[in-house]
Amino acid sequence: MSVEHIDFDPPRADEIRVRIVGTGICHTDLVFRDGFPVPLPIVLGHEGAGVVESVGPEVTRLEPGDHVVLSFNSCGACPNCERGLPSYCFKAGHYNYSGARPDDNSTALSRNGTLINANFFGQSSFASIAIARERNAIRVDRDLPLELLGPLGCGIQTGAGAVLNSLDVRAGTSLVVFGTGTVGMSAVMAAKVAQAGTIIAVEPNAARRALALELGATDAIDPSADDICLATMIRQVSGGGVAYALDTTGIPSVIEEAIDVLLPNGMLGLLGMSPTGATLSVNLMGLLMRGIGIKAILEGDSDPQRFIPRLIDLYREGNFPFDRLIKTFPFEQINEAAAATENGSVIKPVVVI
């Protein structure tokens, strides 16, 4: 990634121009940086937060000066958008990964008159300016630390939403979370909010295990310790198995282990990106006899306009301290920030602009 000067057209129709103050770096940005097919060069970034500078003529809810968190984009008109499940928008690809506006393949970004690919997740927020839409911008109070709020728009709502929306974890029940990056750690905090009785974090990184215990995990297991059988440990600390499991790793052998430790009628949520072509080996009769459910989850089944304000309320109450996951970097150090999450030293880097 390199920092360069480009030009921006004014926002049109339902678009808004946002002066970005902070953007989280999400694993998905790095997957696209590393060759997942999008037109290049492109402005990535999809966890932006900033101040509205101007609005298009059809915008009615937002005005210049508003503080906003940007989330993923969606059409607003398909059956899933109408049901309040915009992450499963029938046109999600066009609206988030095509590198351009879905209607006419244009973008608001250019250099020397040549169009620059953008509109990534309807924002392309690795930039001092982002052109987003009223639909994927969530207004927040002005007294909040705006530069830290961007990750609520993707990684944090994914983990928290998996627990509070998708699995709807019940008080007193048991949950295991495999992997405690941003998504897994947000799931741990949300499980505490849901008053789960047993919250097990499975994580090889010692510092992350310690933080998971501080943020709500009742137990933390190191899966790389060579003297343990992971499934046996999970059954031991949960008293026989767990009602819910969340995988954030995308690793097939971990997912198979997650299925194995579920109690009858248990639910598994899949949140991790697996390697291309990865497959699962599952005993189907075993699944049926135990009534196991498996759900692949995008963006925590969140409707960001409703769920992000809920997470901010929990944060204000002191019950969702997501800022503990964040380390900030100057914008010019965006490559160092990306490296810090890839080598595991930082959970959620945020570049401050």
Residues that bind Zn ion (CB under 5 A): 26, 28, 74-75, 78, 81, 89, 154
**Residue 116: strand, helix, or coil:** coil
Query: To the nearest whole angstrom, how small is the minimum distance from the Cβ of residue 44 to Zn ion?
Result: 10
Which residue lies nearer to Zn ion by CB, 78 or 213?
78
Query: To the nearest whole angstrom, how small is the minimum distance from the Cβ of residue 24 to Zn ion?
Result: 8
Selection from 327, 22, 304 nearest residue 144 by Cα: 22
Which residue lies nearer to Zn ion by CB, 74 or 198?
74
Query: To the nearest whole angstrom, how small is the minimum distance from the Cβ of residue 158 to Zn ion?
Result: 7
Q: Which helix (H) or strand (E) holds 243?
A: strand 242-247
CA–CA separation, 153 vs 129, rounded Å? 17
Residues in the chain, overall count: 353
Residue with tokens 């003297």: 227
Which residue lies nearer to Zn ion by CB, 25 or 140?
25
Q: Is 274 exposed, middle or buried (0-12, 13-18, 19+ CB in 10 A)?
A: middle
Query: To the nearest whole angstrom, how small is the minimum distance from the Cβ of residue 111 to Zn ion?
Result: 26
Which residue lies nearer to Zn ion by CB, 68 or 154?
154
**Residue 297: strand, helix, or coil:** coil
Non-local (6+) Cβ contacts of 236 within 8 A are none
Which residue lies nearer to Zn ion by CB, 266 or 300?
300
Query: To the nearest whole angstrom, how small is the minimum distance from the Cβ of residue 73 to Zn ion?
Result: 9
Which residue lies nearer to Zn ion by CB, 17 or 348?
348
CA dihedral (8, 10, 13, 16) positive or negative: positive
Query: To the nearest whole angstrom, how small is the minimum distance from the Cβ of residue 29 to Zn ion?
Result: 7
- Take residue 251 and report the two structure tokens written for it: 């690793």
